[in-house]
């Protein structure tokens, strides 16, 4: 059983979906989806947010509590009924959708890694982190809609890694204040940017150039994964189109900021997200 402090910290999760989703780059549970699909997506989302919040802001021993969550999570696949409300809801979704265990454990491992790794030397190392922190979510969504294949998983991984990277670009200042830098060290060196510049009120010319270069790289990955939408059917296609569109709208917002992610809040526009989603669903080529 998770300790009561963890339960209290996360007790608002089931009743605060809309408030928290407003801060995300894409609608986690599009309102047009059937209720059952929305509830399953919320169960997965709340689990992922719980794990992230424990890894980012839990005031006690974060490693210990994450390891305890890992134990409780694994128990779901061994017939154990969790006491923690978020895990109990997740257990029902796991049973209804026949979800695999490993992606959920990978999300915990990503947060455990955050406790010991705060810098990434190369872009390839950062992508390796995203395989734990982001790609599992896409894999879960494909399973949730019973549309997972090896080819689709590969495309989903590209999309999810791109989404994670653009989120890191939005949050450079916040992450630095928390002691983490997700910009590759090789990219900082290439653009002559020091870590002290990440604490400034506005982005330097070098940092703006770095952000725009990394935005281009993330967008290329997003485009590589874009064919996934055309391979899906039914509500899965709608949901995944929303995710991809949110990523592209964030790319648009990063470019519109000129790369100054310190001097302004970079958020994707709702109309841009809808426009990109419509294009995906109608089969239009990306601009």
> What's the pLDDT at 25?
46
Q: Which long-range contacts (CB under 8 A, 24 or more apart) does 172-179 make?
A: 172/198, 172/207, 172/211, 172/261, 172/262, 173/198, 173/199, 173/261, 173/262, 178/56, 179/118
> Over the range 97-123, which residues count as b (16 or more CB within 10 Å of their CB) and which as e?
bebeeebbbbbbbbbbebeeeeebeeb
pLDDT in tens, 192-223: 999 999 999 999 999 999 999 999 999 999 99
The mean pLDDT of 14-22, rounded to a whole number, is 40
Per-residue confidence (pLDDT) for residue 33, from 0 to 100: 87
Give tens-digit pLDDT for 230-285: 999 999 999 999 999 999 999 999 999 999 999 999 999 888 988 999 999 988 66
Output the pTM of the full model.
0.89
Q: Is the pLDDT of residue 18 over 60?
A: no
**Residue 285 confidence (pLDDT):** 61
pLDDT of residue 2: 59
Q: Would you tell me which CATH number, out of the four given (1.20.120.330, 1.10.600.10, 1.10.287.130, 3.30.465.10), belongs to the domain 118-287?
A: 1.10.600.10
CB 237 within 8 A of CB 246: no
Question: What is the structure's pLDDT at 32?
Answer: 79
| Per-residue pLDDT tens digits for 33-63 | 899 999 999 999 999 999 999 999 999 999 9
Q: In this predicted model, what pLDDT tens digit does every residue of 152-195 receive, in sequence order? A: 999 999 999 999 999 999 999 999 999 999 999 999 999 999 99
Looking at residue 20, what is its pLDDT?
Answer: 46
Other beta carbons within 10 Å of 83: 11
What residue spans define the domains of the chain?
8-116, 118-287
The overall average pLDDT reported for the chain is 90
Whether residue 16 is predicted with pLDDT greater than 50 in this model: the reply is no
């Amino acid at each position: 059983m998770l300790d009561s402090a963890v339960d209290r910290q996360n007790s608002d999760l089931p009743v605060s979906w809309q408030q928290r989703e407003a801060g995300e780059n894409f609608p986690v549970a599009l309102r047009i989806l059937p209720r059952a699909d929305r509830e399953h997506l919320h169960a997965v989302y709340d689990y992922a947010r719980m794990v992230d919040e424990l890894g980012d802001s839990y005031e006690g021993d974060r490693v210990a509590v994450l390891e305890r969550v890992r134990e409780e999570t694994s128990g779901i696949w061994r017939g154990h009924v969790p006491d923690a409300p978020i895990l109990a809801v997740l257990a029902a979704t796991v049973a209804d959708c026949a979800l695999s265990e490993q992606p959920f454990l990978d999300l915990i491992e990503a947060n455990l890694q955050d406790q010991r790794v705060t810098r990434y030397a190369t872009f390839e190392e950062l992508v390796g982190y995203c395989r734990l922190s982001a790609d599992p979510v896409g894999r879960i969504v494909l399973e949730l809609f019973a549309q997972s294949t090896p080819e689709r998983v590969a495309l989903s991984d590209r999309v999810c890694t791109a989404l994670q990277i653009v989120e890191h670009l939005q949050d450079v200042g916040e992450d630095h204040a928390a002691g983490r830098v997700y910009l590759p060290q090789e990219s900082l060196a290439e653009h002559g940017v020091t870590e002290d510049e990440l604490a400034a009120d506005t982005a330097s010319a070098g940092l703006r150039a770095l952000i725009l270069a990394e935005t281009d790289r993330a967008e290329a990955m997003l485009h590589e994964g874009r064919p996934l939408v055309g391979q899906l059917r039914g509500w899965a296609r709608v949901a995944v189109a929303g995710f991809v569109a949110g990523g592209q709208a964030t790319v648009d917002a990063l470019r519109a900021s000129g790369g100054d992610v310190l001097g302004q809040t970079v958020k994707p526009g709702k109309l841009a997200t809808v426009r990109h989603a419509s294009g995906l669903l109608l089969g239009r080529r990306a601009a």
